[in-house]
A and B are shown apart, each in its own frame.
Chain A
Amino acid sequence: GAGVSQSPSNKVTEKGKDVELRCDPISGHTALYWYRQSLGQGLEFLIYFQGNSAPDKSGLPSDRFSAERTGGSVSTLTIQRTQQEDSAVYLCASSLGTVHNEQFFGPGTRLTVL
Chain B
Amino acid sequence: GENVEQHPSTLSVQEGDSAVIKCTYSDSASNYFPWYKQELGKGPQLIIDIRSNVGEKKDQRIAVTLNKTAKHFSLHITETQPEDSAVYFCAATTVARAFGKGTMLLVSP
Contacts and interface: CB of A to CB of B under 8 A. Distances in A.
Given A4-B43, A43-B89, 10 more contacts: A35-B99, A42-B4, A45-B99, A48-B95, A48-B96, A55-B95, A102-B49, A104-B46, A105-B36, A105-B45
A43 B44 contact: yes
Contacts, number: 58
A56 B46 contact: no
Contacts of A98: 95
17 contacts: A4-B43, A41-B101, A42-B4, A42-B6, A42-B102, A43-B91, A48-B95, A56-B95, A56-B96, A58-B1, A91-B43, A91-B44, A93-B43, A98-B95, A103-B34, A103-B46, A107-B41
A106 interface: yes
B102 to A, nearest CB: 5
Interface string A13-47: 00000000000000000000101000011111100
Instruction: Determine the interface band of chain B, counting residues with CB < 8 A from chain A.
Output: 20 to 34
Interface in B37-60: 41-46, 49, 51
The B interface is mostly helix, strand or loop, or mixed, namely strand
A107 B42 contact: yes
A45 B51 contact: no
